[in-house]
A = this chain, B = another copy of it.
Amino acid sequence: MVTIKDLNTPKKNTWCPGCGNFGILSAFKGALVELGFEREQVVMVSGIGCHGKINDYVNVNGFHGIHGRVLPLATGIKLVNPDLTVIGFSGDSDCYDEGWDHFCHAIRRNIDITLIVHNNMILGLTTGQATSTSMPGFKTKSTPFGAIPPALNPLAHALVAHGTFVARGFAGDPKHLQSLIVEAVRHKGFGYIDVFQPCVTFNYLNTYDWFRKRVYKLQDEGHDVTSREKAIEKSFEWGDRIPIGIFYKEERPTYRDNLTHIKNTPLTKVPIDDVNINSLLEEMK
């Protein structure tokens, strides 16, 4: 079983001092230790953005893919080898803009992976432009006169897409976040956590303080995680009070559960040196 030390890598961390990503990193490492994994069991899949650098900072298997494609990559890995624990790390633009195509579909399929979205409400690595979760009026280099549309509500989308585990964390509360990650990974099915991740360099609006003043924990207030309607309602709560925690949780067969012919077999273990195609050839005669 892995220790925090085992998880360290020789790579110098280049996130801005104080960046919310540090909270996610420490919560994640803590969760891996808490879950008692071996390093070989875990695969991190990350997108392109500041968030994506997390791959360099945790010493487990990792695939730092292209922008927006965390979910199909992770899907391919997990379906092929269900013995792996596959965890995706995406950004708000990575997941909700460029990669939006995949989000609702991966959730519908209930692929048995975890997705952590570093939602800093900005494109960080490209030096600060508005994303779909940026608040209307938010001024950035791409929106010098203010972002126009209402912000995307990714949690609501996950919920109406039949998500089976929908949660939100805050990088400023890594302990709470760690508990969410642990639950999400243990969840059989698609575990989704959107994480408020202050970008201290470019997001002058949604700062630690801004969040700290507003966030409260659903689980402190007796929220019913079995009600999808309630969860949708909560996902729209935005203003003086913003909820974090588990919004919704349900058990439903995963995509792989439906593949009854292979059940839990890793396809990597199916021999391929002499696949018999004779009966197919016979049919073609």
Contact = CB atoms under 8 A, between A and B. Distances in A.
A273 interface: no
Interface in A231-285: 232-233, 235, 255, 258
B160 A109 contact: no
| Chain A interface residue number, banded | 20 to 34
Q: How many monomers of this protein are in the complex?
A: 2
A132 B106 CA distance: 11
Nearest to A155: B160
A138 to B, nearest CB: 13
Contacts of A152: 104-105, 108, 161
A146 to B, nearest CB: 8
A156 interface: yes
A150 interface: yes
14 contacts: A97-B105, A100-B101, A100-B104, A100-B105, A101-B101, A105-B132, A108-B152, A149-B162, A149-B255, A156-B160, A157-B161, A160-B160, A160-B232, A160-B235
